[in-house]
Amino acid sequence: MKVKVYSTSTCPYCKMAKMFLDEKGIAYDDLDVAGDAVARDEMLKKSGQMGVPVIDFDGEVIIGFDQERLRGLVEKRK
């Protein structure tokens, strides 16, 4: 399973998404798009927007902290 979280350090929803993944024991790469132009371009290509968080959960892109959708993806993989 490969999970990437595109975030910024000041985004409260990004922090909530990462805390949720931590609680579920899901490893992820945290990419700070505020300081990483390559990650920002990758996020834009995947989501078509600049809003964070954007979560790439095994190729399924979630825009924003959609807890129910994330929970469903986590449960499918267990």
**CATH number of the domain where residue 44 is located:** 3.40.30.10
As a whole number, the mean pLDDT across the chain is 94
Q: Look at residue 69 and tell me if it is in a domain.
A: no
Percentage of the chain modeled with pLDDT above 90 = 90
Determine the structural domain holding residue 14 and report its residue range: 7-54
Q: What is the pLDDT of residue 1?
A: 75
Tokens of 12: 């409260």
pTM: 0.94
